[in-house]
Structure 1
């Protein structure tokens, strides 16, 4: 059964906790979403608060995918670029699908929904994202239409002796 996507859902305690649980579960399953396992909700909470604050200030938008049980199963944040020469594209951040839903095509559905959401923003011509190398994520994003436009070798230190590339990809919308 497909996910139901909502852009800018009401931020209720249930939604906040659902995103927090998703982020924790994805991180602990090895997902490249800003943390390295093991983490708990309290380690992730301050980062979620930053995203929620940016949403309240109109700088970020939240796309949420709910599964058939109404649980938060996928998320992505879209962040407007505030540099006056770069306001024609948005960043896509914290792209997550719950580990129990991996392999169902929900990641591709999330990426399509994020692109559709960005197309609805005035003046937006592209979506840009970055990902951690070493996991094959760039191949997944390429299969969703993104093109690699930059790579900084060994920019992300996952652990001592484990440095990964920071890969930037772009999806033109026009």
Structure 2
């Protein structure tokens, strides 16, 4: 069973810190240790900032957990373009001020992350083990996909 820990919507850049604090509180309440919380803080900061810069309002965060397994954070916005995570070797070639956020999320979460369209907009998600260890990225992706399918309208194709 998945337990929704918090759902929060805010549209402003001043709210990145608040998104980080709420995510941190929800995951700590679910039993995540400090190593996992540190990863989640970094990743939610990147994902929320990316949603503000590249998405469209409304921007929000949903945090849910599988007890004794992992916490999942989904950052969503109403922009239509689903981002593509870079291949690991591509990150070294990204230059300039933009383009590194998704690669950083990938690195922080050891590739237990992804993105998918949902209703109006998209969700960028990442998962962190309760004890900060590496997760099986394929198994975690299947868990997130299952939850997304259960939540979505029947006519929407979620994960292409």
Q: When the two structures are superposed, what TM-score results if normalisation uses the length of structure 2?
A: 0.38
Radius of gyration: which is bigger? Answer: 1
Higher relative contact order (CA 8 A, sep 6+): 2
Q: When the two structures are superposed, what TM-score results if normalisation uses the length of structure 1?
A: 0.36
Which is richer in strand?
Answer: 1
Which is richer in helix?
Answer: 2
